Structure 1
């Protein structure tokens, strides 16, 4: 389907690091769109594999930019600075779009000059990632509803907050930080309530990653609280929620030491029966959990 004059120009930006195994599929999903982009910018973030060579062989409208390894947000910012489109559609190098993603989302780009972000759902999106009505700052503060690979961002909105924060300590909250700053500045978020993106979860052990991700989430909350001038009590409540959320994740991963630490931090902010019960359960001996796993499901 050829672009029409009333459709804003869209550039696709793909940060890539050691993505040789997935980058062709990812870029092809952009090229297969029923509504074409004006360009595809792949930013190779210091890969040590053949990512850049693969992308360079694809030819126009695909362009490869290389940089020293600086993290995904630095790569995204680099790509946006080079982009010529009025809107930037982001896609991570291991995800892909369904062919009609941009066509389905394009009508939402045109109506309101205060719209800063348009997003959709991923395939098999979990129910608690969905919402009704307008996505507000308060809703985003409680939960990140916007996946990076689903988002199309007005370049002027990106410029208004000086782009993505490139601090690599924000691991796990790189995009979330951006959405919150845009919402705090009054930019509107619009939802195309369709599952239009194939999302690939990051590899790696939960236990090995969760501590760094929690630190990133806490840093993000503190920075956004300062940026949006939130009261201290609201930040403390969010910190408690994060400790409890990640403590439960560690509990389910059977990392009882980590769960005990995080749930204990949540209890220090404010005691609650449910968090206390989880914390007490982390002290049960391993033999109890092994016995429980051996029990038939019908006996549970």
Structure 2
């Protein structure tokens, strides 16, 4: 399929997102440079709520928007993203999850960088209004990350990502069997085969109607997330991209980080139960 020059295909996997999907689509509609967007691919991944009805109504009410709607059996976020990637027409691909929002200037800021620096294949951005650190190293401007950087700190978040669609020919697609850490598993391939840039500026809001440490969020699967991170690290090591000593340093670091999160979660649960008792 021929790519459309300098245009972006937006891919949104949707699963039981009736409470958020309208706001998500609105955040695309409000982009200051919407003209860079050639299509919005909404993939309903087997939702059982009113997501489909809301999306269809939104399309009818905003017929001027280039929204293409697809419905498929549930296969997970990676399956839905792959579905969209196989149908995307744009030269660039951007992801947006169905419970995240783009800041109005998101596409404008990133496309300005990508068009000024044609060598950039992968570009991510931030989701917090605070300085960005990789361990003790502070990142203040556009930054070309190394594979060690990504091992030290898994970044960026998926709704901030924009990358050249042509890279798919070399890298393939998301691993649909991996359910946790699958995004970094895919993104680290860009760093190895192409390049990996990061802009430390908040351009997205993640989980805007969800407690990030809540029972319904990904952090309720801390063990699975930890194991996914270890899998990603092991693959990079087995492929010879990091040393044995660095690999084991990171294994220890990840274990300590996991223990810290478990303790924080335990304290949070205790406080929550205490409030309920009162």
**Fold equivalence (TM over 0.5):** yes
2:179 aligned with 1:179, yes or no? no
CA spacing shift, 1:213–1:29, aligned 2, 3 Å = same
Partner of 1:89: 94
Which has the larger displacement, 111-120 or 37-46? 111-120
Which one has the bigger strand percentage? 2
CA spacing shift, 1:245–1:83, aligned 2, 3 Å = same
Structure 2 CA distance for aligned equivalents of residues 188 and 42 of structure 1: 28
Structure 2 CA distance for aligned equivalents of residues 224 and 31 of structure 1: 38
User: What SS does structure 2 have at the residue aligned with 1:47?
Assistant: coil
Structure 1 CA distance for aligned equivalents of residues 130 and 44 of structure 2: 28
Q: 1:189 aligns with which of 191, 196, 204?
A: 196
> Do the aligned partners of 1:55 and 1:63 also contact (CA within 8 Å) in 2?
no
1:86 shift after superposition: 0.4
Structure 2 CA distance for aligned equivalents of residues 164 and 202 of structure 1: 25
1:225 shift after superposition: 2.2
CA spacing shift, 1:29–1:202, aligned 2, 3 Å = farther
Unaligned runs of 5+ in 1: 1-5, 256-288, 294-300
Deviations 1:26-61 (A, max 9, x none): 011111111111111111111111212221222241
Deviations 1:66-106 (A, max 9, x none): 12111111111111111110001111110111111111111
Greater than 4 Å deviation, 4+ residue runs: 205-208
Structure 1 CA distance for aligned equivalents of residues 117 and 231 of structure 2: 32
Unaligned runs of 5+ in 2: 60-64
Structure 1 CA distance for aligned equivalents of residues 239 and 24 of structure 2: 34
Partner of 2:82: 77
Larger radius of gyration: 1
Partner of 1:14: 12
Structure 2 CA distance for aligned equivalents of residues 229 and 123 of structure 1: 30
CA spacing shift, 1:126–1:64, aligned 2, 3 Å = farther
2:167 aligned with 1:157, yes or no? yes
CA spacing shift, 1:125–1:82, aligned 2, 3 Å = farther
CA spacing shift, 1:27–1:125, aligned 2, 3 Å = farther
CA-atom RMSD, angstroms? 2.6
User: What SS does structure 2 have at the residue aligned with 1:21?
Assistant: coil
1:125 shift after superposition: 4.7
Which has the larger displacement, 220-229 or 27-36? 220-229
TM-score, length of structure 2 as denominator length: 0.81
Superposed, 1:230-241 pairs within 5 Å as 230-241=242-253
User: What SS does structure 1 have at the residue aligned with 2:44?
Assistant: strand
